[in-house]
């Protein structure tokens, strides 16, 4: 294993951080982590239990994590990308790598890079190109920045499936977020379209028409997956789409689709937080194989509340 990446620091211990921790610890690597939720009342116990089970050392601050990492991997929500880079910068050892895989805009990535590089670290932009859980550590990853090619072989030894897309910062994130305008937008459109169709009693006709137009997609299964992912991760997705909106505006366009998607994703996540889809951690929460179950929950909620 490359001596530069034998101590891994995970900035963020959410779904992605925990998956990476499990796969890296299975290789016998020293893994450290920090997450701001460790100081909160809701998820701290579950995070500490996971860390204890898998032998992950939890650090008390971002700077402390950075001090104990040859490679820090930042996997937080998009809105935190720059502030987390700043918080880690003071602890980074000279020459340590900081791999930023957050779904932040090209401008945000460049701002984060300036903070890390000014502190003596080596910033590498990362863009995760699909959902992490099915692929785990082998999720397709685009790298960018002047130090990306240097880090690439070490990431390969760790089990990552990465490739360098550019030595310029912002190219990888632009690729990711332009894709997100389509993919996250499709999630929001499917939820909006099929929930409305369910209300009007035309869902079967709509599904049949979609099958005819796009026969390669199992729309029943895809719709159930979209509902599940947005209910559970809509907050993070909405932040990603706000960054996508910034990326669109950097091109001089009004971000009508990206901004609308961000609002719909956040709205669904808020319903999940309020218990509309069941209690988190139970089989009833965003785990139905039939999207109609979740659509009916939305419609039942709207029937008794002021419509947003």
pLDDT of residue 73: 97
Residue 137: pLDDT band by 50, 70, 90 thresholds? very high
Q: Cα(22)–Cα(31) distance, rounded to whole angstroms?
A: 9
pLDDT of residue 43: 78
What is the domain count for the chain? Answer: 2
Mean pLDDT of 264-286: 82
pLDDT of residue 288: 81
Going by C-alpha positions, the residue among 123, 128, 38 that lies closest to residue 82 is: 123
Within this chain, do residues 128 and 193 fall inside the same structural domain, yes or no? Answer: no
The b-or-e profile of 125-151 (16+ CB within 10 A means b, else e) is: bbbbbeebeeeebebebbbbbebbeeb
pLDDT of residue 306: 62
What percent of the chain shows pLDDT beyond 70?
95
Within this chain, do residues 178 and 128 fall inside the same structural domain, yes or no? Answer: no
Within this chain, do residues 55 and 145 fall inside the same structural domain, yes or no? Answer: yes
Mean pLDDT of 175-198: 97
For 243-266, the pLDDT digits (tens) are 999 999 999 999 999 999 999 999
For 28-51, the pLDDT digits (tens) are 999 999 998 887 777 788 899 999
Within this chain, do residues 163 and 193 fall inside the same structural domain, yes or no? Answer: no
pLDDT of residue 18: 96
Residue 286 has pLDDT above 70, yes or no: no
| Beta carbons of 83 and 115 less than 8 angstroms apart | no
How far from 58 is each of 8, 39, 65, 123, 270, CA to CA, in Å?
A: 12, 12, 8, 23, 29
pLDDT of residue 44: 86
Residue that terminates a domain, selected from 112, 147, 167 = 167
pLDDT of residue 56: 96
Mean pLDDT of 74-87: 93
What percent of the chain shows pLDDT beyond 90?
82
Within this chain, do residues 149 and 230 fall inside the same structural domain, yes or no? Answer: no
Residue 2 has pLDDT above 60, yes or no: no
The sign of the dihedral angle between the CA atoms of 154, 156, 158, 162 is: positive
Within this chain, do residues 122 and 179 fall inside the same structural domain, yes or no? Answer: no
Burial of 263 (0-12, 13-18, 19+ CB in 10 A): middle
Q: Cα(135)–Cα(138) distance, rounded to whole angstroms?
A: 5
CB within 8 A of 67, min separation 6: which ones? 91, 92, 93
Residue 147 has pLDDT above 60, yes or no: yes
Residue that terminates a domain, selected from 135, 152, 167 = 167
Within this chain, do residues 207 and 96 fall inside the same structural domain, yes or no? Answer: no
For 209-251, the pLDDT digits (tens) are 999 999 999 999 999 999 999 998 899 899 999 999 999 999 9
- Structural domain including 124 reads 3-167
Within this chain, do residues 297 and 153 fall inside the same structural domain, yes or no? Answer: no
Q: How many residues does the chain have?
A: 308
Residue 194 has pLDDT above 50, yes or no: yes
């Amino acid at each position: 294993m490359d001596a530069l990446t034998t101590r891994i620091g995970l900035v963020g211990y959410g779904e992605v951080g925990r998956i990476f921790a499990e796969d890296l610890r299975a290789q016998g690597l020293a893994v450290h982590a920090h997450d701001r939720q460790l100081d909160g009342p809701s998820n701290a116990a579950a995070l500490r239990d996971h860390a204890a089970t898998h032998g992950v050392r939890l650090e008390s601050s971002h700077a402390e994590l950075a001090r104990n990492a040859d490679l820090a991997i930042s996997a937080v929500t998009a809105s935190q990308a720059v502030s987390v880079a700043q918080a880690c910068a003071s602890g980074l050892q000279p020459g340590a790598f900081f791999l930023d895989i957050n779904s932040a805009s090209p401008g945000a990535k460049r701002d984060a890079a300036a903070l890390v590089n000014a502190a003596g670290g080596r910033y590498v932009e990362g863009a995760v190109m699909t959902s992490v859980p099915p692929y785990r550590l082998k999720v397709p990853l685009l790298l960018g920045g002047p130090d990306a090619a240097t880090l690439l072989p070490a990431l390969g030894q760790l089990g990552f499936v990465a490739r360098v897309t550019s030595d310029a910062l912002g190219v990888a994130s632009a690729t990711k977020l332009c894709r997100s305008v389509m993919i996250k937008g499709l999630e929001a459109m499917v939820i909006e379209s099929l929930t409305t169709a369910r209300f009007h009693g035309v869902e079967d006709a709509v599904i049949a028409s979609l099958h005819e137009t796009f026969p390669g997609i199992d729309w029943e299964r895809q719709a159930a997956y979209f509902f599940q992912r947005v209910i559970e991760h809509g907050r993070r997705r909405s932040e990603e789409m706000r960054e996508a909106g910034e990326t669109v505006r950097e091109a001089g366009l009004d971000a009508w689709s990206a901004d609308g998607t961000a609002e719909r994703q956040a709205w669904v996540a808020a319903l999940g937080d309020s218990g509309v889809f069941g209690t988190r951690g139970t089989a009833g929460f965003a785990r139905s194989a039939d999207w109609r179950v979740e659509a009916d929950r939305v419609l039942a909620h709207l029937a008794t509340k002021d419509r947003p």
